């Protein structure tokens, strides 16, 4: 099979890239070892995060550093034995979180954030997936009055500087909007980010986009990206249906991307943030109306088809290390102080991997010195949000069209010096 483009990885990022390339007249094969959306794309909080105009930065206050350093927080935990390996990444992450560097990363990401909802709606409309999306935004909930006051001031600043729709909720206003939460819950106040959309089943959304791709003539193939090799001026990979050759290949393998690219000489300083989720059975009148983030404990409660999904924050540990339920149990305990959390739906929680770069920006663009090798990965916490937007930007670059956003800051060349 010979065609224009191979896309390696059928998560939300890879599927979106394949669709945008297909829309530009390219023949595309989408290759993965599993069905679309069954990796990292399955386990997120279901947010299309139009309001996240500032990346998740490394904490710089001494008090926060001490709390994290002592491993006493539920939003971030780390395996002590993994710390020496992750230390160089953490240092670069800390450096990139300095005010001027963070401002530069935010400016680079903003054009993609700004079109994230429009790009999703365009694909969802064509894929018949609009019923999976809910308006109403999401809520940051605070238990500490001082933290709430600070968050309210910062939200007001973002409202004025970026035109975001934001409401500041006192305790009574929050409980009126979200009556599933207990009257006696320790709530100081909340910030309602109204612009974002939420998705009631991220796997179903990725599956719907993949079905649109095949309906339009695209081909899904089962294969192993590790078989990728250069074939003259082309690229080839082995699939269950045989060898597939294409002029261009897109690496959209999420947390597995850096290892593959290292074989071809590109060293990407990517780290993997592990995260867990579990669903809990809720009666209809006990289900929150929108995702709620417990900012003090660092987890999300998101209403899903399967139940109320509790997603944890960050765990730094080896990707292949056995699951550790300490973080999830701490978050579950905190959640039960806020609402009547039902019984777990699954016997065991889900564990997934988020691909993260120290400068908080994804890798989108051509690999220097290797014609036809392209990247689209490293979206950290915003793979669902930015999948369609980054797919559009990548397709612009591959097809030689004027990019809708400045792609320079996302280039793999930033790691080849």
Structural domains of the chain, ranges and CATH numbers in brackets: 1-57+97-126+200-267+358-417 (3.50.50.60)
Two structure tokens written together for 8: 């390696």
Report the alpha-carbon distance of residue 403 to residue 252 in Å, rounded.
Answer: 19
Give whole-number Cα distances, 388 to 17, 21, 360, in Å.
7, 11, 18
Asked whether the beta carbons of 277 and 286 are under 8 A apart, the reply is no
- What are the pLDDT tens digits along the chain (417 aa)? 789 999 999 999 999 999 999 999 999 999 999 999 998 899 899 999 999 999 999 988 877 777 777 787 888 899 989 999 999 999 999 999 999 999 999 999 999 999 999 999 999 999 999 999 999 999 999 999 999 999 999 999 999 999 999 999 999 999 999 999 999 999 999 999 999 999 999 999 999 999 999 999 999 999 999 999 999 999 999 999 999 999 999 999 999 999 999 999 999 999 999 999 999 999 999 999 999 999 999 999 999 999 999 999 999 999 999 998 899 999 999 999 999 999 999 999 999 999 999 999 999 999 999 999 999 999 999 999 999 999 999 999 999 999 999 999 999 999 976
What is the chain's length?
A: 417
Nearest C-alpha neighbor of 325 from the set 349, 298, 347, 302: 349
């Amino acid at each position: 099979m010979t065609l224009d483009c191979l896309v390696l990885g059928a998560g939300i990022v890879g599927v979106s890239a394949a669709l945008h390339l297909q829309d530009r007249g390219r023949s595309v094969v989408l290759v993965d070892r599993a069905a679309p959306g069954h990796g990292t794309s399955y386990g997120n909080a279901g947010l299309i995060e139009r309001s996240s105009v500032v990346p998740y930065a490394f904490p710089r206050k001494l008090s926060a550093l001490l709390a994290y350093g002592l491993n006493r927080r539920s939003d971030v935990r780390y395996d002590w034995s993994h710390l020496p390996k992750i230390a160089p990444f953490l240092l670069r992450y800390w450096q990139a979180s300095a005010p001027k560097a963070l401002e530069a990363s935010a400016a680079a990401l903003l054009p993609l954030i700004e079109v994230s909802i429009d790009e999703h709606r365009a694909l969802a409309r064509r894929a018949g997936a609009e019923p999976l999306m809910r308006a109403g935004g999401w809520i940051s909930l605070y238990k500490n009055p001082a933290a709430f006051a600070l968050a309210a001031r910062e939200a007001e600043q973002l409202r004025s500087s970026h035109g975001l729709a934001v409401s500041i909720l006192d305790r009574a206003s929050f409980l009126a909007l979200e009556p599933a939460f207990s009257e006696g819950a320790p709530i100081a106040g909340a910030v309602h980010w109204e612009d974002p959309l939420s998705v009631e089943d991220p796997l179903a959304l990725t599956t719907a986009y993949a079905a649109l791709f095949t309906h339009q003539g695209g081909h899904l193939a089962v294969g192993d990206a590790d078989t990728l090799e250069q074939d003259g001026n082309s690229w080839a990979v082995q699939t269950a249906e045989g060898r597939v050759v294409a002029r261009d290949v897109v690496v959209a393998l999420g947390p597995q991307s850096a290892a593959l690219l290292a074989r071809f000489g590109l060293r990407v300083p990517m780290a993997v943030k592990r995260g867990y989720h579990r669903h809990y059975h809720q009666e209809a009148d006990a289900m929150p109306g929108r995702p709620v983030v417990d900012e003090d404990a660092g987890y999300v409660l998101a209403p899903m088809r399967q139940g109320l999904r509790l997603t944890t924050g960050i765990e730094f540990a080896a990707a292949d290390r056995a699951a550790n339920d300490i973080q999830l149990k701490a978050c579950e305990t905190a959640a039960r102080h806020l609402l009547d959390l039902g019984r777990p739906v699954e016997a065991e929680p889900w564990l997934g991997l988020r691909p993260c770069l120290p400068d908080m920006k994804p890798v989108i663009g051509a690999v220097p010195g290797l014609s036809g090798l392209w990247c689209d990965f490293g979206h950290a916490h915003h793979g669902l949000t930015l999948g369609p937007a980054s797919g559009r930007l990548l397709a612009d670059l591959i097809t030689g069209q004027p990019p809708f956003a400045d792609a320079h800051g996302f280039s793999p060349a930033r790691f080849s010096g």
